[in-house]
Amino acid sequence: MENKKSLATGVLHGTHDKFSFGALTPPIVQSATFVFDSSEQGAARFAGAEDGYIYTRIGNPTTTVLENKMAYLENGEACLAFGSGMGAISSTLVSLLSNGDHLVADTTLYGCTLTLMTEHLTRFGIEVQFVDMTDLNQLKAALKDNTKVVYFETPANPTMKVIDIEAVSKIAHEAVPGCKVVVDNTFCSPMITRPLEHGADVVVHSATKYLNGHGDVIAGICVSDADTIAKIKVAGLKDITGSVLDPFAAYLILRGLKTLKLRMDAHSKNAMEVAKFLEGSEFVKAVYYPGLECHSGHEVAKKQMSQFSGVLSFEVKSYEHAVKIMNNVKLCTLAVSLGDCETLIQHPASMTHSGYTKEELEAAGFSETLIRLSVGLEDPADIIADLDAAMRL
Ligand SMILES: Cc1ncc(COP(=O)(O)O)c(C=O)c1O
């Protein structure tokens, strides 16, 4: 494996791509299907006896460039791209789990991931159990012989709870050999954390967020060892969800990736400044940002994150004030999603996490006074001035 320390260089040159016509950027192969030279060749491709493209749901040259780049960046053997983050997550879980299996997940998850587990996987006879994975004893107590997947986000959406990837992976693998530890790395991107290097088995992403970074694509990524990716490709992607990425979207993500290192540096620097401002504000009850020393996960974050990324959340004193702030901001944009160049502000309890029940909100550790902010690439002084003015109005 090449030295992964210089990912700023690796993201541009690490996969040594060469394109037809000597093109610098990957050609967009906007074709649904691929022509066979003969019937025998078509049969050989379907049988796996000959390499080559067949049909874009099963593989596409532009998407392959993205998949190779993401496998490189996450330090995994192979990667699959999907039509959304939820496509990546659902395809992965339905490939790794069957009727009668047990899934252990953290209590704090993106809203649709939670409802996928509570309302849908359970319909197929999969037993789902939630624990607070910052308490490793809860994890140990939950693991059983039929636990096939341990799943978490770090930092988790929206409370920025940090989970120790190495500790969770070690406990899960010792207790249940063969169990897959799946980490949603959306909030970090591989520029900040590479979960496979800390012992996880599978990494998933909403590539809609930092990987693309420009708010114009919905996409997902899954990276793992070659056998696991082959299984997810044949079952989850090809036959079950069909959640394939469009080649033009793959091209846009490849373009976004070129500046991933620069963007993650700037998002992290700006978020730290905004977090410090919020920490000192008389209107704010609590700030959740792993870069702050007061954050409960700060020490674990320092161990597994090279910087602290661009998302933070904060509690204000009342729901009414939270609504007022979100209605009064002028620069920060009231919209869900994150990881874009623009600063986005939103209200998890009524928006991204509105699928949570009251009990699930309590277990996840946030309420209707929580605001989530994805700090963008504007001048941080302008973001701070906008928030300050909105809080005072
Ligand atoms: C942590 C996390 N994982 C997964 C998803 C789902 O991704 P997508 O919206 O691309 O389907 C999101 C979306 O907000 C997310 O925040």
Query: What's the rounded Cα separation, in Å, for the pair 311 and 343?
Result: 10
The reply to whether 205 and 239 lie within a common domain is yes
Ligand 1, atom 16, residue with closest C-alpha: 110
Asked if 323 and 386 sit in the same domain, the reply is: yes
383 within a domain of the structure (yes/no): yes
- Check which CATH number belongs to the domain holding 310 and give it: 3.90.1150.10
- In this structure, the answer to whether residues 251 and 298 fall within a common structural domain is no
Judge if the beta carbon of residue 208 lies within 6 A of ligand 1: yes
Total domain count, the chain? 2
pLDDT given at position 6: 87
CA of 187, closest atom in ligand 1: 1
Looking at the structure, do residues 272 and 226 belong to the same domain, yes or no? Answer: no
> Other C-beta atoms within 10 Å of 164: how many?
21
- For residues 74 and 167, membership in a common domain is answered with yes
pLDDT (tens digit per residue) in 321-376:
999 999 999 999 999 999 999 999 999 999 999 999 999 999 999 999 999 999 99
Ligand 1 centre and the CA of 121: distance in Å? 18
Residues 167 and 297 in one domain: no
Whether 250 and 271 map to the same domain: the answer is: no
Examine the fold and report which residue of 257, 281, 300 is the final residue of a domain before the chain moves on: 257
Average pLDDT score over residue span 23-52: 97
Would you give the distance in Å from CA 80 to the centre of its chain? 14
184 carries an active-site annotation: yes
Which residue is catalytic, options 69, 161, 194, 209? 209
Q: What is the C-alpha to C-alpha distance for residues 141 and 128, in angstroms, rounded to an integer?
A: 14
Tokens representing 298 are: 């700060």
Is 133 a domain residue?
A: yes
Same domain for 75 and 26, yes or no, is: yes
Is any atom of ligand 1 closer than 6 Å to the C-beta of 84? yes
The residue from 257, 284, 300 where one domain ends is: 257
- Concerning whether 209 is annotated as a catalytic residue, the answer is yes
pLDDT tens digit string along 272-329?
999 999 999 999 999 999 999 999 999 999 999 999 999 999 999 999 999 999 999 9
d(CA 88, CA 263): 24
pLDDT value at position 5? 59
Is 177 exposed, middle or buried, given 0-12, 13-18 or 19+ CB atoms closer than 10 A?
Answer: exposed
Question: Ligand 1: does its nearest atom lie under 6 Å from the Cβ of 218?
Answer: yes
Q: What is the pLDDT of residue 250?
A: 98
Range of the domain at 95: 7-257
Query: Final residue of a domain: which of 217, 237, 257?
Result: 257
Which CATH number belongs to the domain containing residue 124 in this structure? Answer: 3.40.640.10
Please indicate, yes or no, whether residues 267 and 159 belong to a single structural domain of this protein: no
Give the residue whose CA is nearest to atom 10 of ligand 1. Answer: 85
pLDDT for 3 equals 47
Q: Whose CA is nearest to atom 15 of ligand 1?
A: 110
How many A from CA of 85 to the centre of ligand 1?
5
Same domain for 327 and 373, yes or no, is yes
Residue 287 and residue 230 share a domain: no
Is 2 part of any domain?
no
DSSP per-residue letters across 223-242: EE-HHHHHHHIIIIIIIII-
The answer to whether residues 178 and 52 belong to one domain is: yes
